[in-house]
Amino acid sequence: MAVAEFVYNSPPIRVVFGFGTIGKVADEASRLGMRRALVLSTPEQRADAERVLRLLGDRGRGVFAGARMHTPLEVTQEAMATVGRDGIDGTVALGGGSTTGLGKAIAWRTDLPQIVIPTTYAGSEMTDLLGETAGGEKKTRRDPKIRPETVVYDVELTLGLPPKLSVTSALNAMAHAVEGLYAKDGNPVLSLMAEEGIRALGAALPAFARDPRNRDARGDALYGAWLCGIVLGSSSIAIHHKLCHVLGGTFDLPHAETHAIILPHAIAYNAAAAPEAIGRVARALGVKNAAAGLFDMAKAAGAPTALGAIGMPEAGLDQAADLAVADPYWNPRPLERDAIRALLDDAWRGRRPKAASSE
Ligand code: NAD
C-alpha cells in the first residue's frame, strides 16, 4: 500500500475500559463536574441504571428509564422535562445504541456532559451522529455537542447480552470497520483500527456464541466494538449503511439484525472495486473470501441470514432498490439499480453471497 494524502481527526473522548469499571462512575462524573446526574436506560435495563445511581452517590439525581429504539422525539421531550425540573447537569447513559441516542439527543439540546456505559457493540458512543425520529421520519445530524465526553466500557455488563443480539450487534460493529476500510475519507490509522476491530470481533464471535459468559471473548468483543465505533465516528459510510438505513427507516426492520444480514452482501458488492480493503477484511477474519467467510461465520453463530425472515416484505424490494439509488452515498462501486436489486434479492432469500463462486 502506498500512503497517499489524508486527514486524521482523533475524537477527544476519554475511554475507561475493563471489568467492573462501572465502579469508577462517580469518579468519572466528578471529573466532568457533575453534581446532579440523570441516569438513562431502557425499561428493560432499569435495574442496572438504579445500580449506577447508587454508585454515583451524591452526584446522582435520578433515573429516566424510558429510552426507546430510534430516539423518538416524544421520549426526548419527556426526558428534557426531567432535565429542566431537576436541574440536571449531566447524563449517564447505560445501554445500547438506543439509550446512547437519548443521551446524545439531550446533549445536542443542552450541551450537558455525557458519560456513556455501552452494553452492546453498536458503537454509537464513539460518534458525533444522532438519528432522531419524529412523525415517522428519521433524521440524522452531526455535531460536536453530540459526542460523549467519557465512555466507560465494563465487560461485566455485556456478559448478559442475549446471545442473538450479541451476534448481530457484533456484526453491526464489524460493518462500521468494513466501510471505514474503503471509505473515501479513510486513512492508514483508521484502517489499522478497523482491521484490528474486525479481527477481535471475528475471533470472539464463535466463542461467545457458544458460551455467552466467556469473559475473554466478551472482553475482546467489546474492545473490537470500541475500535469499530471510532472508525464509524471518523469516516463516511457507504452502500452497507445506506441499505440498512433504507431498510430500517422505510420497513422498520430491526437494527442489528438488518446489519448482520446485509454485511456479507455489501462486501461481495464491493469486492472487485475495493480489493485491498476487502482483502484486509478477509485477512482479519482469517478466511479466503471475505463475503462468503463472513456469511458462514454469521450463520454458524446463529445470526439471521434472510431479510424475509425478519419482516421484510418481498413486494418492498423494488422500492428499497429505488430508495438506495435515489440519494446515493459515495461507494467504491457505483450504486447500480439492477445490481442492488439483485443484492437485495439474495439478502431476502438468505443466499450465500455470489462472490463465493470465485473460491
Ligand atoms: P438497543 O440499544 O436498541 O438495545 C436493544 C435491547 O437490548 C434493549 O431492550 C436494551 O435494553 C437491551 N440490552 C442492551 N444491552 C443489554 C445487555 N447487556 N443485557 C441485556 N439487555 C441489553 O440496540 P443497539 O443495537 O445497541 O442500538 C440500536 C440503535 O442505535 C438504533 O436506533 C441505531 O440507529 C442506533 N445507533 C446509532 C449510532 C450512531 O452513531 N448514532 C451507531 C450505532 C447504532
State how far the Cα of 350 lies from the Cα of 346, in Å rounded to an integer: 6
- At 356 the pLDDT is 42
- At 355 the pLDDT is 52
State how far the Cα of 168 lies from the Cα of 201, in Å rounded to an integer: 11
> For the whole model, what pTM was predicted?
0.96
CA of 101 to the centre of ligand 1 (A): 9
Residues of the chain with pLDDT under 70: 1, 355-359
Query: Which residue, by CA, sits nearest to atom 42 of ligand 1?
Result: 124
Q: Among all chains, which residue has been given the C-alpha cell 454515583?
A: 56
Among 256, 115, 240, 130, smallest CA distance to 182 is for 240
Residue 168 CB less than 6 A away from ligand 1: no
Give the chain's end-to-end CA distance (angstroms, integer). 24
Task: Note the pLDDT tens digit of each residue in 111-167.
Answer: 999 999 999 999 999 999 999 988 877 788 999 999 999 999 999 999 999 999 999
Three-state DSSP class for residue 260: helix
Contacts of 235 (CB under 8 A, 6+ apart): 179, 180, 183, 185, 186, 187, 190
Query: Which residue, by CA, sits nearest to atom 33 of ligand 1?
Result: 97
State how far the Cα of 188 lies from the Cα of 231, in Å rounded to an integer: 11
Paired strand residues for 150? 14, 115
- At 1 the pLDDT is 62
Instruction: Give the ligand 1 atom nearest the CA of 130.
Output: 41
Instruction: Give the ligand 1 atom nearest the CA of 158.
Output: 18
Instruction: Give the ligand 1 atom nearest the CA of 140.
Output: 41
For residue 217, the Cα-to-chain-centroid distance in whole angstroms is 18
Task: Note the pLDDT tens digit of each residue in 275-292.
Answer: 999 999 999 999 999 999
Q: Best mutation site among 45, 125, 252 for ligand 1, i.e. most ligand atoms within 8 A of its Cβ?
A: 45
CA of 130 to the centre of ligand 1 (A): 13
Instruction: Give the ligand 1 atom nearest the CA of 129.
Output: 41
Query: Which residue, by CA, sits nearest to atom 6 of ligand 1?
Result: 96
72: DSSP letter: B
Q: For the chain, count helices (H), then strands (E).
A: 13, 8
State how far the Cα of 287 lies from the Cα of 101, in Å rounded to an integer: 34
